[in-house]
Amino acid sequence: MAVAMRSTVQKAGASPRVSARRSVVVRSGKTLGGKGPVPAVEQDAYEYLKTCPGVSAPFDNVFDPAGLARTTNLRDLKRWRESEIVHGRVSMLAALGFIVGEQLQDFPLFFNFDGRVEGPAIYHFQQIGQGFWEPLLIFIGVAESYRVAVAWATPTGTGFNALKDEYEPGYLGFDPLNLLPEDEAARKELQTKEINNGRLAMIAIAAFVAQELVEQTEIFEHLFLRFEKEAILELDDLERDIGLPLTPLPEELKGI
């Protein structure tokens, strides 16, 4: 009976309600039964990703070993891209903050809350007192409110948690130094550099946190201890070859 009714509707011409429903199906990327993505939408999402900044050597095409871009729709893919760019920017700031904070914590002119902040950066959070977090939270709230106003669509039944159609992921119009080129190719190249550096920063900050949790040492302290250990081991090899007594390895280097 359902087949007969569908045939009758097709002969009579699709009603506006049917057309509207089909348009919703195409936008959502789901079949009428909700069992999977519509192939046309899947292809649109993947082709869109191939044109985005961030596609660079050694991968000539989209690097997507899990095939996530082929199983989603364009709306969700844009949201993922926005998330990648934002997390990359935060990670670049975090990686820089780890290094700068650890190196300047003993510098007299550095704002160090009366010398309370010391040691690995993963423990700076607990050491900072009042007067820092309140302005920071206000600043983050203002920045995020601006990003939501620029990028995110008004939540609706079919458009909840979605970006605006005209919004380009990552582009908030904030360029006080006027660094973004007008030329399309140069602009895409600069955006690709930003995304690639953000990806590297996400890996770096995860490694920083893991290393400091395991070894309880600052980033450069860990690096220089590694250099010192390697230098002593190389010296031991030389002393062993020429028959001299070996240079003992300090206790703090034995566990590295």
48 marked as binding residue: yes
Torsion of CA 18, 19, 21, 26, to 10 degrees: 140
Is 145 exposed, middle or buried, given 0-12, 13-18 or 19+ CB atoms closer than 10 A? exposed
75 marked as binding residue: no
CA distance 30 to 134: 44
Contacts 24+ apart (CB under 8 A), 166-170: 167/78, 169/52, 169/78, 169/81, 169/82, 169/85, 170/81, 170/82, 170/85, 170/86, 170/194
47 marked as binding residue: no
**83-116 as b/e: b if 16+ CB within 10 A:** ebbbbbbebbebbeebeebbeebeeeeeebeeee
87 marked as binding residue: yes
Contact 113, 129 (CB under 8 A): yes
171 marked as binding residue: no
194 marked as binding residue: yes
CA distance 165 to 159: 11
11 marked as binding residue: no
Among residues 70, 76, 78, 81, the alpha carbon closest in space to that of 40 is found at: 70
- Which residues carry a binding-site annotation for chlorophyll b? 48
* Sequence ranges of the binding site: 48, 84, 87, 89, 193-194, 197, 199, 211
Q: Which parts are annotated binding residues for chlorophyll a?
A: 84, 87, 89, 193-194, 197, 199, 211
